[in-house]
Amino acid sequence: MGEPLVIIGNGMAAARLAEELTTRVLGRYAIAVIGEEPRLAYNRVLLSSLLADEVTTAELELKSARWWRDRGVTLVYGCPAVAIETDIRRVRLANGATLPYAKLVLATGSRPIRLPVSGATLAGVLTFRDIADVENLRHTGAGRRAVVIGGGLLGLEAAHGLARAGAQVSLVHLMDRLMERQLDARAAAMLRAEVEARGVTVLTRAETAAIDGRGHVEAVALRDGRRLEADLVVFAIGIRPNVDLARTAGLAIDRGITVDDGLATSRAGIFAIGECAEHKGTCYGLIEPAYEQARILARRLAGENAHYTGSVLATNLKVSGVNVFSAGDFLGRAGAEEIVLTDPGLNVYKKLVIADDRLVGVVLFGDTIDGPWYLDLIRSGAPIAAIRHHLAFGRILAEATEPMAA
């Protein structure tokens, strides 16, 4: 038997870590995965598609039961871990069982935030985090009036899914534009138009004052006095790293579980990846950093020398037919230059931010196919002077014309 390695959390980061590890050093570790949800690991990114009825629950499954079995992974799901006994390297589960570990990986993810307003716990006030939430939403929302609070990535996906599922959806957002942390004003306006064209009513600069209802939600009251009748309210205002276990175990916590470049926590033998981890002051809420961390950690656990140095964020909105991409310092800083390409006829907007002859940020709307290439350029910091004038037109054209003068 291999060295016992326990992963707490059965989400996407955990599944990727198991995959990376079993690919690299199959048999070296006896892997056990402890999941709170009563199902195999699934693709959370597809929840809005599930809500929109574009995919089935089965299609969300990341790996089949057979896949896990073939790799000798012990799956413990539907039963949360309740404590980590760090001194004796043992994890205790809710059902009283214990699992010893040589290495422990925390991949506990995050929990959705609810606004601290009155009525936030009324029936019909939901979040959008897991399959249970989706089932609730589908159960409650179809053909009815829904208010989604929060105009970020998650709120947009929820609103889209609900609208596709037949609800009359209002999207309430505190800021003056949608996805303000990922989009500039122009892209946000285009996004708003796209979302509205899909039947979602968008209210910006709208602060939720209270949720009204007797037992069940009836309306959302806004600070400016507006009142939105609602049969269903979804909080999509953000997430908070799930650090409860780590905290009780005495691990160093800031916002998330602090990890170093080796993804190690403050306690030997314990690591953290994904949304629960905080690296150099940053908690990531997207899948790609989680996968990157899983890959780095797997390499380290396989004996390689690998370091996680942080992720350059790229945002892809997963709303079908709406292509939005942003990465890096897309708002630009002092001394940065912008290249902007627009074609309203194609509903395309591209903004590239350049500083010191390097691409530092990008916002794409409508035509996002070159997003990953831009992300590579941002990450690599490669000089782009030679292709500067072709950059906005995408990789094929830029690389075809690279040797030529502008």
Partner 1 sequence: MTAPAPLPAIRTTCPYCGVGCGILATPDGRGGAAITGDPEHPANAGRLCSKGAALGETLSLDGRLLHPMLRGTNGTLARTTWDDAIDRIAGGFRRVIDRHGPDAVAFYLSGQLLTEDYYAANKLMKGFLGSANVDTNSRLCMSSSVAGHRRSFGADVVPGVYADLDEADLIVLVGSNAAWCHPVLHQRMMAARRRRGTRIVVVDPRRTATAEDADLLLTIAPGMDAALFSGLLVHLADTGALDRAYMDAHTSGFDEALGRARAIAPDTAATAAAAGLAAGDVAHFFDLFAATGRTVTAFSQGVNQSAQGTDKVSAIINCHLATGRIGRPGMGPLSLTGQPNAMGGREVGGLANQLAAHMGFLPADIDRVGRFWNAPAMAGAEGLKAVDMFAAVERGDIKALWVMATNPAVSLPRAGAVREALGRLDLLVVSENVLANDTVTAGAHVLLPAAAWGEKDGTVTNSERRISRQRAFLPAPGEAMPDWWMVAQVARRLGFADAFAYGGAADIFREHAALSGFENDGARAFDIGALADISDPDYDALQPMQWPARAPSPLPACGERSDRSAERDDPGEGASPRMRRQESPSPRPSPRKRGEGEDSRLFATGGFVTPDRRARFIAVAPPALRTATDDAFPFRLNTGRVRDHWHTMTRTGKSPRLGCHLPEPFVEIHPDDAASAGVTHGGFARAVTSHGACVLKVAVTDSQRRGSLFAPIHWSGETASSARIGELVVNATDPFSGQPEAKATPAAITPAVLPWAGFALSRTPLAFPAGTWWARVAIAGGVGYLFATTAEPGHWAEIARKMFAGRAHAEYVEPGLYRLAAFTGHRLDGALFVGPADSTPQWDTVRALFEGETVAVADRRVVLSARRAGGRDAGALVCACFGVGVIAIRDAVAAGACDVAAIGATLRAGTNCGSCLPELKRIVARELKAAE
Widest CA span of the chain, in angstroms? 70
Tokens matching residue 43: 């693709």
Question: If we measure between CA atoms, which residue out of 112, 320, 96, 143 comes closest to residue 234?
Answer: 112
Question: Hey, which residues between 273 and 332 contact partner 1 (CB under 8 A)?
Answer: 287-288, 291, 316, 318, 323, 325
Torsion region of 356: left, alpha or beta (phi above 0 gives left; psi -120 to 50 gives alpha) = left
Pairing of strands 337-343, 348-355: antiparallel
128 and 214 Cβ atoms separated by less than 8 Å: no
- Applying CB under 8 A, the span of 186-194, 214-222, 248-256, 335-343 interacting with partner 1 comes to 335-343
C-alpha 147 chain-centroid distance = 21
For partner 1, which residue of 53, 54, 224, 260 counts as binding (CB under 8 A)? 54
Which residue's CB is nearer to partner 1, number 246 or number 387? 387
Which residue's CB is nearer to partner 1, number 124 or number 366? 366
Which residue's CB is nearer to partner 1, number 182 or number 323? 323
C-alpha 230 chain-centroid distance = 27
Which residue's CB is nearer to partner 1, number 30 or number 336? 336
Residue 22 interacts with partner 1 (CB under 8 A): yes or no: no
Bridge partners, 25 (sequence order): none
Bridge partners, 278 (sequence order): 258
Residue 20 interacts with partner 1 (CB under 8 A): yes or no: no
Residue 385 interacts with partner 1 (CB under 8 A): yes or no: no
Tokens matching residue 77: 């799901």
For residue 303, the tally of other CB atoms under 10 A from its CB is 9
For partner 1, which residue of 192, 313, 368, 378 counts as binding (CB under 8 A)? 368
Question: Hey, which residues between 346 and 365 contact partner 1 (CB under 8 A)?
Answer: 346, 348
Q: Over the range 306-331, which residues count as b (16 or more CB within 10 Å of their CB) and which as e?
A: eebeebbbbbbbbbeebbbbbbbebb
CA distance 5 to 33: 9
How many residues bind to partner 1 according to rule CB under 8 A?
46
User: Least Å distance between CB 316 and partner 1?
Assistant: 4
Residue 89 interacts with partner 1 (CB under 8 A): yes or no: no
3-state DSSP percent of the chain in helix, strand and coil, to 5:
30, 30, 40
- Applying CB under 8 A, the span of 55-63, 97-105, 230-238, 260-268 interacting with partner 1 comes to 55-63
Exposed/middle/buried for 176, CB within 10 Å: 0-12, 13-18, 19+? exposed
Residue 386 interacts with partner 1 (CB under 8 A): yes or no: no
Sign of torsion, CA 261 242 275 38? positive
Residues in the chain, how many? Answer: 406
For partner 1, which residue of 18, 46, 172, 233 counts as binding (CB under 8 A)? 46
CA distance 261 to 354: 28
- Applying CB under 8 A, the span of 86-94, 141-149, 355-363, 382-390 interacting with partner 1 comes to 382-390
Which residue's CB is nearer to partner 1, number 301 or number 327? 327
CA distance 295 to 161: 31
User: Least Å distance between CB 404 and partner 1?
Assistant: 9
How far CA 75 is from CA of 38, 39, 44, 323, in Å, comes to 11, 10, 18, 36
- Applying CB under 8 A, the span of 217-225, 232-240, 326-334, 370-378 interacting with partner 1 comes to 370-378
Question: Hey, which residues between 164 and 183 contact partner 1 (CB under 8 A)?
Answer: none
For partner 1, which residue of 103, 371, 377, 384 counts as binding (CB under 8 A)? 371
Residue 36 interacts with partner 1 (CB under 8 A): yes or no: no
Which residue's CB is nearer to partner 1, number 147 or number 392? 392
Question: Hey, which residues between 191 and 250 contact partner 1 (CB under 8 A)?
Answer: none
Tokens matching residue 302: 């396989």
Residue 120 interacts with partner 1 (CB under 8 A): yes or no: no
Residue 132 interacts with partner 1 (CB under 8 A): yes or no: no
Which residue's CB is nearer to partner 1, number 55 or number 203? 55
Query: Interface residues with partner 1 (CB under 8 A)?
Result: 43, 45-46, 49, 54-55, 59, 62, 287-288, 291, 316, 318, 323, 325, 337-346, 348, 367-373, 388-390, 392-397, 400-401, 405-406
